[in-house]
């Protein structure tokens, strides 16, 4: 079956459980696909070929296991999720040779469900970026056009799924880092409610913002991965102990009657490329044809979201990254004679420009004399942003809009950091509010011929309903194929 890589995760899982294909066959196919496409895409920092094949052989010898919903399915992990015995770099020189001795909870749950990991995905260093141009190792290319970025910071995860190197990947989303690459690469990406998936083993950027989520080629696939990973974890104090619903049960609905879709004017106006607006508006029109009602809503504080987000995120980054000092683990400058010189040299040489920029800004807003003026005020605005969403959800069930103002841009086109930060204008509010949000591919831009993603946002812990609505819309839209490489 030479076209195995075109199958969805759900399709390949069914073939494996039925015995129609062997795990070794599927894993070898993915590794061959990686070998054929990696020279152009550069999605993976680490390829786990030998380990994956050894595991596949053992699984085939034991036979299919119906109790494991991901039995034998090849997957990729973003390289900031700790993986026992496998190098985990965060896309940074400072962790270039770090090998964890434990698995992140999300990783462990996927393993327990039978997933086989074939690689660790490239990313913006410590998840700081929107294009995967900030990796310490190399840039990742968009499979739809290798001259363009795949989005970030989970660009490697987005590119590996879009290129057919695996059947699903994990990303993390601090301000849009799952949704942006999903939009740019034409796949499905879900950022769950904060606390829905354990953050244990996630090397943090912004602890109150980061969330792990699935990146797949269909909504059903995303639901399957969420089903495995969701649930309370006593190892994570931010994990919420609420019941996990059956995310697959609501799929396959006939229509969208009774569903109210909110359209915030702040997401549909100035600064939005016409081709993105047209594709997203067409998807909303399709939802209306299926019976949904579109209603205008206000998210008046959207204009303050960028400033609020970057103050909070950079403050948390400054705190989280203080542990990388060259003493306990990670890169160390061995030439310095004094301790302070060793600290300075190790961090200067180990961190890239963007990480250093965010640490400096974060330290500034937390410093004496500026804490109240910046961080404390941003925390108050964050609460008001959450109230904005609460009011909007009194009028609608979900909010719809574009994921990004543009389709994937050419590498180097957003050299100005402020330009890059503004790419997150539609995504960061969901992280500040802690609500679930997802990107669904809705077509190609008329001018760029690049994928466009529609963003859906909903109230906390509404993932089951959101997936149900997204899957119905997905069936009504022409599917995107895997791009030629």
Name the active-site residue from 177, 183, 218, 429. Answer: 177
Q: What is the dihedral of CA 465, 69, 18, 66, to 10 degrees?
A: -120
Q: What does the DSSP assignment read for 217-243?
A: SSHHHHHHHHHHHBS--TT-TT-----
**Residues belonging to the chain:** 485
Q: Which two tokens stand for residue 309?
A: 């987000």
Q: Is the bond into 286 cis (omega within 30 degrees of 0)?
A: no
Name the active-site residue from 131, 153, 154, 429. Answer: 153
Residues 6+ apart with CB under 8 A from 478: 443
Nearest of 111, 122, 106 to residue 47 by alpha carbon: 122
* 177 part of the active site: yes
* 322 part of the active site: no
Name the active-site residue from 7, 42, 78, 414. Answer: 78
Nearest of 470, 304, 282 to residue 382 by alpha carbon: 304
CA 173 – CA 25 distance, rounded (Å): 32
Q: Which two tokens stand for residue 140?
A: 């990742």
- 305-320 vs 353-366: helix crossing angle, rounded to 10: 100
Q: So which residues are the catalytic ones?
A: 78, 153, 177
């Amino acid at each position: 079956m030479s076209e195995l890589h075109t199958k969805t995760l759900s399709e390949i899982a069914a073939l494996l459980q039925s015995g129609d294909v062997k795990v070794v066959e599927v894993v070898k196919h993915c590794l061959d696909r990686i070998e054929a496409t990696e020279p152009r895409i550069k999605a993976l920092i680490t390829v786990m070929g030998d380990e994956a094949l050894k595991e596949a052989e053992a699984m085939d010898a034991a036979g299919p296991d119906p109790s494991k919903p991901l039995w034998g399915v090849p997957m990729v992990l973003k390289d900031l999720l700790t993986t026992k015995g496998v190098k985990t770099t965060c896309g940074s020189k400072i962790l270039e040779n770090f090998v964890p001795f434990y698995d992140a909870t999300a990783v462990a749950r996927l393993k327990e469900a039978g997933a086989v990991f074939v690689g660790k995905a490239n990313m913006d260093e410590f998840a700081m970026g929107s294009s995967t141009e900030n990796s310490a190792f190399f840039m990742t290319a968009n499979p739809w056009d290798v001259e363009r970025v795949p989005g970030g910071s989970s660009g490697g995860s987005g590119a590996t799924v879009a290129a057919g190197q695996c059947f699903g990947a994990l990303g993390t989303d601090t301000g849009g880092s799952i949704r942006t690459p999903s939009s740019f690469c034409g796949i499905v990406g879900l950022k769950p409610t904060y606390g829905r998936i354990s953050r244990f083993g996630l090397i943090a950027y912004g602890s109150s913002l980061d969330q792990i989520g699935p990146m797949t080629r269909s909504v059903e696939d995303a639901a399957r991965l969420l089903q495995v990973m969701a649930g309370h974890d006593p190892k994570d104090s931010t994990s919420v102990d609420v019941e996990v619903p059956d995310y697959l049960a609501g799929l396959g609905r006939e229509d969208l009657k009774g569903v109210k879709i909110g359209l915030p004017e702040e997401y549909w106006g100035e600064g939005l490329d016409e081709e993105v607006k047209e594709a997203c508006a067409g998807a909303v029109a399709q939802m209306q044809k299926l019976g949904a009602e579109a209603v205008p809503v206000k998210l008046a504080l959207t204009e303050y979201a960028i400033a609020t987000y970057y103050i909070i995120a950079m403050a948390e980054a400054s705190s989280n990254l203080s542990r990388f000092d060259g003493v306990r683990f990670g890169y160390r400058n061995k030439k310095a004679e004094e301790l302070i010189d060793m600290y300075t040299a190790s961090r200067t040489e180990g961190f890239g420009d963007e990480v250093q920029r965010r640490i400096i800004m974060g330290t500034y807003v937390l410093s004496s004399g500026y804490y109240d003026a910046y961080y404390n005020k941003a925390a108050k605005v964050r609460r008001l942003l959450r109230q904005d969403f609460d009011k909007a959800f009194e009028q609608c069930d979900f909010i719809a809009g574009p994921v990004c103002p543009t389709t994937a841009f050419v590498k180097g086109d957003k050299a100005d950091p402020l330009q890059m930060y503004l790419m997150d204008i539609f995504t960061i509010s969901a992280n500040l509010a802690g609500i679930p949000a997802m990107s669904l591919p809705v077509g190609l831009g008329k001018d760029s011929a690049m994928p466009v993603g529609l963003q859906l946002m909903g109230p906390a812990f509404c993932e089951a309903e959101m997936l149900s609505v997204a899957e119905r819309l997905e069936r009504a839209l022409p599917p995107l194929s895997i791009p030629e490489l």
